[in-house]
Chains A and B, each alone.
Chain A
């Protein structure tokens, strides 16, 4: 414990927390995407998969708690770092040219905050049944499991909601295109030799996540995925 508090009390240490929590979230996003892409395999596969996850409460809750902790750590640290950074420059420049800094790196906080809003909405939307309580009542006609497939299709058939998802995925991609590269730097794993590889990996994974995730609402909107 001692080492954790000591790490957290230093600037570099905080970045380790950012990086590790970011990595956990990143891995979740990938796994989650792979799960969601099963929508293309039809309701049966997808609903069974969802049921399979929920039938293992210990696994489910471990992951949920892990995610929650990671998210909290990530956000709390991010906000704290951001506050410190702001305090380090009380008087702003009249002209501030972001020399050489990429757009993604400059907007990491903004993209993060919007992502946070997205996650809250997303949970209210699909998990907690706040926006559409009826979603939780949907049952798969064959198995009787929760009909995640239908929920997804209905959920995304509203272009406004889909639009919000797509925009959020854009921000997620932006966040990750910088964040994943930065994670290696924060943990001291980036070297001259692997630098280009890491940058490519970050951009590519962001792109894949963007395409993979966006394909779902788009497919619903264009009718490629529809209620069966």
Chain B
């Protein structure tokens, strides 16, 4: 199949970017979206042009590196998938595809479709962990975790930190990402000792990065490749409220 792409090109964070049109020819429906871009890039290189920069690594939907907004939807029209797992059979011959980077103030553009998501790392650094040092921990079975709690924690922990939630949210809010980590750790008995401090400092870090607020629109949940539920945002709100009331 043959496609027309309109791709955001931006040399670096300082220079303004613009859209450039490219033709993608002879695309097989079995290609992944990234493989389609590989083909376009090979052509660009052969023509002596700078290939389109985009982030990717595992190409199997787990590392969270890839991500672009395709025709207005983070990770593309399917929903609940990563860009690397989106395949060209989702599109039709002759389609016009607009490709943009994640756009959010805390995710500055580095080049073309590559953005800087280190804000997520800083949020985790603020409290997204259990403060245990290596060694001296009790036997794994000494801490019993009821299966429903373990399952719920796992549901939340499945987040791959791709940032699609931010990209999709009209408010560029990082609630779903932060809520997933807060809920993962605050649901488990191991995480209870620090639960109040954790939620307060993670939310503060999130605010300091400049992410938007949640108006409960649900786009984040719909594009999230790991289908992290809005329920966790509710849990974070609850934990935060409680922590706030308890704090001095």
Contact = CB atoms under 8 A, between A and B. Distances in A.
Asked if the two chains touch in their complex, CB atoms less than 8 Å apart, one says yes
Contact of B79 (A10, A95, A99, A102): A99
Interface string A146-182: 0000000000000000000000000000000010011
A188 B238 contact: yes
Interface string A173-202: 000001001101111111110010000000
B22 interface: no
B222 A100 contact: yes
Nearest to A188: B238
A54 interface: no
Classify the secondary structure of B's interface with A. Answer: mixed
Contact of A105 (B74, B207, B217): B217
B215 A108 contact: yes
A161 to B, nearest CB: 32
Interface in A21-59: none
Contacts, number: 146
B223 A88 contact: no
A100 B176 CA distance: 15
Interface in A62-89: 81, 84-85, 87-89
A101 B73 CA distance: 12
A89 B203 contact: no
Interface stretch (A11-19, A118-126, A207-215, A219-227): A11-19
Interface string A84-114: 1101111111111111111001101000000
Nearest to B235: A188
A133 to B, nearest CB: 40
Given A81-B213, A88-B171, A101-B219, A7 B244 contact: yes
A99 B106 contact: no
Q: Which of B104, B215, B234, B241 has the most CB of A within 10 A?
A: B215
Contacts of A102: 217-218
Which bucket holds chain B's interface residue count? 35 or more
Given A105-B217, A186-B216, A89 B172 contact: yes
A89 B237 contact: no
A7 B207 CA distance: 12
Interface of A: 3, 6-7, 10-16, 81, 84-85, 87-102, 105-106, 108, 178, 181-182, 184-192, 195
Given A84-B213, A192-B231, 11 more contacts: A3-B244, A3-B247, A12-B236, A13-B244, A97-B71, A99-B73, A99-B222, A100-B218, A105-B217, A188-B236, A188-B238
9 contacts: A84-B213, A90-B105, A99-B73, A100-B217, A100-B218, A185-B216, A186-B216, A190-B231, A192-B229
Interface of B: 6, 8, 19, 69, 71-74, 79, 98, 100, 103-106, 168, 170-173, 203-204, 206-207, 210-219, 221-223, 229-231, 233-241, 244-245, 247
